[in-house]
Amino acid sequence: MEGLVSSGINTVRVFGITKHQSRFLPSSTLHLRNNSVCGFGIGVEKKEKKQCFVVAASVGGSKVVHFENTLPSKEVLELWRNGDAVCFDVDSTVCLDEGIDELAEFCGAGKAVAEWTARAMGGSVPFEEALAARLSLFNPSLSQLQDFLEQKPPRLSPGIEELVQKLKANGIVVYLISGGFRQMINPVASILGIPQENIFANQLLFRSSGEFLGFDKNEPTSRSGGKAVAVQQIKKAHGFKTLTMVGDGATDFEARRPGGADMFVCYAGVQLRESVAAKADWLVFSFKDLINSLGFVCRVLGGSLLALRTCIFVLLFHRRVPWHLRTRWLNCWALTRSMQFSISHIFREGNGCMDRLANYGVTLKVQSGEAPSLVLSENPLV
């Protein structure tokens, strides 16, 4: 769908991933399919002592694109680790496929929809117009949709389940925001453990006979700029201070605006859209990059430092905790023994406690309507 509203965006289909061993470099690089007409390549180079990804593409000539945002800044990491919520695009991000194209193919109209999409790529087309036009090419019935959902289970992107689980364990609320259809996204949300009320997507409408009627035009995601509106609604309703949008296309980047997403992470593990990737706060080719940056995280619920000390004591003997963390957290445990203040008091009065705790990867998390809590992370931010 992104191509319909993103004139001039060059896309590259990803079909292979190679792992890197270093946890400080992006955990994947791309192998892009070659043919007789055009060729693609990607690598890593050093430029002014900074790592950056280089994508080279040739179509009757040559073109080199530098991406210098694959290594996040300290500010970006802080937003990612300590944000209140993360909103994910679905098609070509959480899932490997574009939902409407898959449904059209199942209904026997895949080629027609693809041809219409190719024509639309030549100019700017409002999202709602593009959506209506493509649906009109095959008018899916309710029975066809049900058969599709039964025979074509969603194909999730590698690592997304682990990432969502880790975000939720860290107390970060997860949402799905898509220009696709709620009926097709509900199974995805079920797999990921995301509640239905955290889905913002379009709704296909049918008559009582099962005949296709259209789509609900009252949904914010049914029109251009809809994802930005959805993000603004989420922040306003829940009082979130910091929110990250993760996606692959221009409509996802649009959500990063005043009152909307505070950061945009471009996920290029399925589709690489050069102009979108270049503007992202952080460009990743694998969800492992986002998972690793969260580190070993433990959210401490409770109103006193006793809860933090207890958590550290337990983690010191946990078999999965690396030895270097045990040493750091042992020192942190010793520091907390000299502190007699509650978490709420630290939040109100400050007194430098959090500055000292931050050296050990302990940060304060405050969410609207909830008591303050402490987050113990593998990765200190100072």
Residues involved in catalysis: 89, 91
Burial 138-147 (b: 16+ CB within 10 A, else e): bebbbebbee
What is the spatial distance between Cα 249 and Cα 178, in angstroms, rounded to a whole number?
11
DSSP for 187-219, please give it. HHHHHHT--GGGEEEE-EEE-TTS-EEEE-TTS
| Pairing mode of beta strands 63-67, 11-19 | unpaired
Q: How far apart are CA 316 and CA 156, in angstroms?
A: 35
- CB-based contacts of 353, cutoff 8 Å, min separation 6: 339, 341, 346
Give ∠ CA 6-206-217 in degrees, rounded to 5: 40
The pair of structure tokens assigned to 312 is: 């550290």
SS3 assignment, position 135: helix
Closest CA to 80 of 269, 262, 288, 277: 262
**HSE (side-chain half, CA atoms, 13 Å) at 308:** 31
The angle subtended at Cα 357 by Cα 354 and Cα 363, nearest 5°, is 65
Query: Is residue 49 classed exposed, middle or buried when 0-12, 13-18 and 19+ CB atoms within 10 A define those classes?
Result: exposed
